[in-house]
């Protein structure tokens, strides 16, 4: 089992099936992946209901169990034993068998990268992301001159893609991550993908909403992961005392 592959499969599926995946699904699934990781990737593990609800910001047990059951129906959770009440744990297994059919998100990445290469000069540290250039309709919040509905996951992804596009020009910051934080050359894009997935599982108030905050939070998150011994496949140096 691999956390990156699990998260990638989930995001690919959500990209192809936007009507089936809601923000609560993101929050619960990625918290479950992180919880499983901290348990040493146990095949079957307990997901404490109260702790999970508090961690992902769902106040209503009815909303939580609805989201939980939908992830079972979609095939992302395998239910081993159902909890007796909201104060006990469901025993689950993370399924590795749910995958998008035609990798539409990968195709979108390639299409955007091709267009960007035709229109701009790329630096050696650029990070290409699919970006929407049209303001979305029926939105309720304006960020960096573009209006987004922050209750919708797709809009989160569009907004963060805009930040990543700007971040590609922050050469001093990029070089600092490679030189001081020992990120392997060419792997920063993968780490930023994982960081954005992490952000989309957090409360709106906890999300960086400008480029400066995004860079600061991203760098701190990468350093924390490396210190904890996580995501070391992207680090050129294994830290002492890693777990």
In a domain, 88, yes or no: yes
Average pLDDT of span 47-67:
93
Q: Give me the CATH number covering residue 83.
A: 1.10.10
Last residue of a domain, one of 74, 94, 114: 94
Tell me what pLDDT residue 199 has. 73
Residue 11 half-sphere exposure toward CB, CA atoms < 13 A: 21
Measured between alpha carbons, how far apart are the two ends of the chain, in Å?
17
Tell me what pLDDT residue 218 has. 85
* Residue 107 dihedral angles phi and psi, to the nearest 5°: -65, -35
Q: 86-95, 143-152, 216-225: which has the minimum mean pLDDT?
A: 143-152
pTM of the predicted model, to two decimals? Answer: 0.46
Tell me what pLDDT residue 98 has. 66
Domain count, the chain: 2
Tell me what pLDDT residue 136 has. 35
pLDDT band, very low/low/confident/very high, at 233 (cuts 50, 70, 90): confident
Tell whether 13 and 76 lie within a shared domain: yes
Tell me what pLDDT residue 212 has. 84
pLDDT tops 90 at residue 68: yes
SS3 string, 145-195, reads CEEECCCCHHHHHHHHHHHHHHHCCCHHHHHHHHHCCCECCCCHHHHHHHH
Tell me what pLDDT residue 52 has. 93
Tell me what pLDDT residue 159 has. 66
Tell whether 30 and 87 lie within a shared domain: yes
Torsion, Cα 183 34 132 186, to 10 degrees, reads: 20
In a domain, 239, yes or no: no
In a domain, 240, yes or no: no
Last residue of a domain, one of 59, 94, 129: 94
Tell whether 88 and 112 lie within a shared domain: no
pLDDT tens, 157-199?
566 677 777 777 788 888 888 888 888 887 888 888 778 777 7
More confident: 29 or 193:
29
What domain range is 76 assigned to? Answer: 3-94
Tell whether 18 and 114 lie within a shared domain: no
Tell whether 43 and 89 lie within a shared domain: yes
Closest by CA position to 214, among listed 199, 194, 201: 199
Tell whether 121 and 164 lie within a shared domain: yes
Name the region of 25 (left: φ>0; alpha: ψ -120 to 50; beta: rest).
Answer: alpha
In a domain, 238, yes or no: no
Tell whether 116 and 225 lie within a shared domain: yes
Q: What is the mean pLDDT of the chain?
A: 74
pLDDT band, very low/low/confident/very high, at 49 (cuts 50, 70, 90): very high
Q: Look at the chain and count its residues.
A: 243
pLDDT tens, 93-152?
998 876 644 454 444 444 444 444 444 444 444 444 443 334 434 434 443 343 434 454
- Cα–Cα–Cα angle for 171, 118, 161, nearest 5°? 50
Tell me what pLDDT residue 166 has. 77
pLDDT tops 50 at residue 41: yes
Q: How many helices (H) and strands (E) does the chain have?
A: 9, 5
Closest by CA position to 13, among listed 104, 92, 87: 104
């Amino acid at each position: 089992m691999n956390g990156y592959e699990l998260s990638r499969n989930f995001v690919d599926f959500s990209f192809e099936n936007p009507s089936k995946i809601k923000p609560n699904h993101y929050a619960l699934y990625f918290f479950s992946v992180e919880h499983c990781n901290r348990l040493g990737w146990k095949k079957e593990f307990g997901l404490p209901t109260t702790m999970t609800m508090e961690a992902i910001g769902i106040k209503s047990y009815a909303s939580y169990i609805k989201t939980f059951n939908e992830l079972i129906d979609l095939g992302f959770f395998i239910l081993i034993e159902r909890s007796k009440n909201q104060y006990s744990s469901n025993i689950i297994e993370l399924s590795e068998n749910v995958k998008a059919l035609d990798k539409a998100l990968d195709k979108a990445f390639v299409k955007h990268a091709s267009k960007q290469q035709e229109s701009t000069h790329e630096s050696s540290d650029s990070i290409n992301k699919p970006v929407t250039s049209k303001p979305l309709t029926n939105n309720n919040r304006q960020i960096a001159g573009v209006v987004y509905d922050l209750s919708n996951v797709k809009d989160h992804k569009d907004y963060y893609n805009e930040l990543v596009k700007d971040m590609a020009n922050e050469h001093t910051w990029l070089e600092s991550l490679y030189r001081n934080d020992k990120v392997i050359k060419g792997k920063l894009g993968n780490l930023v993908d994982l960081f954005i997935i992490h952000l989309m599982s957090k409360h709106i108030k906890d999300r960086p909403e400008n480029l400066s905050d995004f860079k600061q939070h991203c760098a701190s998150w990468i350093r924390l992961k490396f210190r904890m011994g996580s995501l070391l496949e992207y680090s050129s140096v294994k830290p002492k005392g890693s777990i």
